[in-house]
Amino acid sequence: MRRGALLLAALPLLAAAGDPAPVRQAELDYMLRQDCGSCHGMTMKGGLGAPLLPEFLQAKAPDALAEVVLDGIPGTPMPPWRGLLTADEARWMIDRLRRGLDQ
């Protein structure tokens, strides 16, 4: 395979600096909608967990929110996701929620 064809074949796996690759973004988006949605509501308006709509997240520090995602909240149903997510992925997910999932 020629070098140019190899690069073109890899393009779907590349992402902007700091962002997960597009394939991983799709996986993270699915996690947000399904795994997070199972407790926070499928429309993110809240349920067992707090609402995850942009207007509820804007006043909170993104890094603090990412730590909650990664480490969970002891004594509550919020589990830690650190074993499944990197810190960058957690921050990407928080940014996605702060923009709104349909944006």
Domain boundaries, the chain: 3-99
pLDDT tens string for the chain (103 positions)? Answer: 555 444 444 444 445 557 999 999 999 999 999 999 999 999 999 999 999 999 999 999 999 999 999 999 999 999 999 999 999 999 999 999 999 998 6
- Predicted pLDDT at 102: 86
Q: Are residues 98 and 62 in contact, defined by beta-carbon separation less than 8 angstroms?
A: yes
Q: What CATH fold (topology level) applies to the domain 3-99?
A: Cytochrome Bc1 Complex; Chain D, domain 2 (1.10.760)
- pTM value surpassing 0.85: no
Q: Residue 32: phi, psi to the nearest 5?
A: -60, -50
Give the torsion sign (CA, 13, 36, 51, 61).
negative
> For residue 87, what are the CA distances in angstroms to 10, 27, 30, 55?
24, 15, 18, 23
